[in-house]
Amino acid sequence: MEIAYFNKAIETISRYDLEHLQLERLRRSVDAALQTSFYKNRLTKAGIVSSADIKTCADLQRIPFTTKDDLRQSYPRGLLAVPMDDVVRLHTSSGTTGTPTVIYHTQEDINTWAELLCRCIVSTGCHRGDMFQNMTGYGMFTGGLGFHYGAERVGMTVIPAGSGNTRRQIQLMKDFHTTVIHATPSYILHIYSLLADCGITIQDLSLKKAFLGAEPYSENTRKKIEELFQIEAYNSYGLSEMNGPGVAFECVYKDGMHTWEDSFLLEIIDPQTGELLKDGETGELVFTTLCRKATPLLRYRTRDLSSVVPGTCPCGRTHRRISRITGRSDDMLIVNGVNIFPSQIEEVIMRIPEVGTNYQVHLDKEGALDTLTVKVEIYSKMFSGEVNELDRLKSRIHSELRASIIVNPRIELHEPGSLPVSEGKAQRVVDKRPKL
């Protein structure tokens, strides 16, 4: 198999040299972190007042974990390590209880991020001359811009199609002979289901590869996508706190995702005890940014469950591989690639006085796409008898929820006492989607 690299020196660096590089960069990250009000407080308490306190990579264990909640608490500027004038971009993501989180980037951060995407893209065999249709959201969602910058730098022609509008996507794929697409697995399957409707067959398309990410799916689904479209499909992993896409990516061997360890220090921990796990053991991914100047994060708990694939990869890259994400150590839901916490839904519903105390979230599949239905009980004392008032209530819940969770929900009104009484979060969410 032909192996291509974007930056061969760093991608095939010896583990010895990599570890030295990591230590040097970890120290820089600690110094940068100490410039933020959040870490100054947090690290000082842990007895770390300068990078001199980090003598070996093992000293990493002295640094406390950082959580999503810490990011929320530090919103908007508590984790900013450089003067705002040096920040060229920021991305926020919706928080679980209304408070968002923010990641800032300097120009150098953007360049570093783009290089990581270049490495990912090239490792799958893509190159200048490829027509790349980027089918994920642009804007605050990091999937679109992240890939966009990387793909341009590789020299591919980028179609910044964004998400949705499937018929136009198919038309673009046909008209411009798209060779590579980036989307969620559900969305690619949805495209397939509409091809015949658009009078287009696989033979009319020039598709060769797909980058799949933003939602969990199985090896079988990958195989199905590969067979339906007669393409190669590669797993992509990232999260907004670690820039977005470009944290880990599959090479042509498709046996785990190479994590760019010169940029992200990778640990896998037991989510219950916080103990470090060995390669091969499944636990929660924890990352420390090694290059990011504007928003350094130390030992960030992703809540994503995975394991390190033991052994080396025939592609020659020395960066360790992680397996596809097998689940979450919290209750986060992924709906058409968008992350939603049940608490976000609860927050919106419970501030509407016409709504009773009980609600349920139902997740289903309609074709290849996810649907989210929120069933709410009305509050009987607020029932006036008028249908139009109930319709107004439905639209209000719909628009407020949509604004909070981005996903377009269906709202159903129910009689008080008709929904099963919840004894825990599990019953609030009924996920009937077949596993992808």
Partner 1 sequence: MKINQISIFVENRKGRLYQVCKLLGDNAINIRALNVAETQDFGVLRMVVDKPQEALNLLKENGFTASFSEIVAVEVEDKPGGLANILKVLNDSNVNIEYMYAFVEKKLDKALLVFRFENIDKALETLTKAKVKIVTSDAVVKA
Residue ranges binding partner 1 (CB under 8 A): 378, 380, 383-387, 390-391, 412-418
The nearest distance, CB 358 to partner 1, in angstroms, is: 13
Nearer to partner 1, 58 or 387 (CB): 387
- What does DSSP assign to residue 156? P
Nearer to partner 1, 281 or 391 (CB): 391
Nearer to partner 1, 85 or 386 (CB): 386
CA distance 152 to 147: 8
Nearer to partner 1, 70 or 377 (CB): 377
Q: Which residues contact 66 (CB under 8 A, 6 or more apart)?
A: 42, 297, 298, 299, 300, 301
The nearest distance, CB 361 to partner 1, in angstroms, is: 15
CA distance 190 to 259: 29
Nearer to partner 1, 272 or 388 (CB): 388
The nearest distance, CB 416 to partner 1, in angstroms, is: 6
The nearest distance, CB 380 to partner 1, in angstroms, is: 4
Task: Quickly list DSSP for 193-228.
Answer: HHHGGGT--GGG----EEEE-SS---HHHHHHHHHH
The nearest distance, CB 383 to partner 1, in angstroms, is: 5
Helices 387-405, 342-350: inter-axial angle, 10-degree rounding? 140
The nearest distance, CB 288 to partner 1, in angstroms, is: 48
The nearest distance, CB 187 to partner 1, in angstroms, is: 26
CA distance 330 to 333: 9
The nearest distance, CB 368 to partner 1, in angstroms, is: 24
Which single residue is written with the structure tokens 């020659």? 316
Nearer to partner 1, 108 or 364 (CB): 364
CA distance 123 to 111: 18
Kindly report the number of other CB atoms within 10 A of residue 142's CB atom: 25
Nearer to partner 1, 311 or 417 (CB): 417
358 φ, ψ (degrees, to nearest 5)? -115, 145
The nearest distance, CB 429 to partner 1, in angstroms, is: 19
The nearest distance, CB 355 to partner 1, in angstroms, is: 13
Nearer to partner 1, 386 or 423 (CB): 386
Question: What b/e readout covers 218-253, taking b as 16+ CB neighbours within 10 angstroms?
Answer: eeebbebbeeebebbbbbbbbbbbbbbbbbbbbbbe
- Spell out where 52-128 has E strands: 87-93, 101-106
> How many degrees, rounded to 5, is the angle at CA 306 between CA 302 and CA 311?
130
CA end-to-end span of the chain, whole Å? 29
**CA torsion sign, 284 to 288 to 291 to 292?**
positive
Q: In 3D, which of 376, 358, 367, 361 has the Cα closest to residue 407?
A: 361
Nearer to partner 1, 84 or 382 (CB): 382
Nearer to partner 1, 153 or 402 (CB): 402
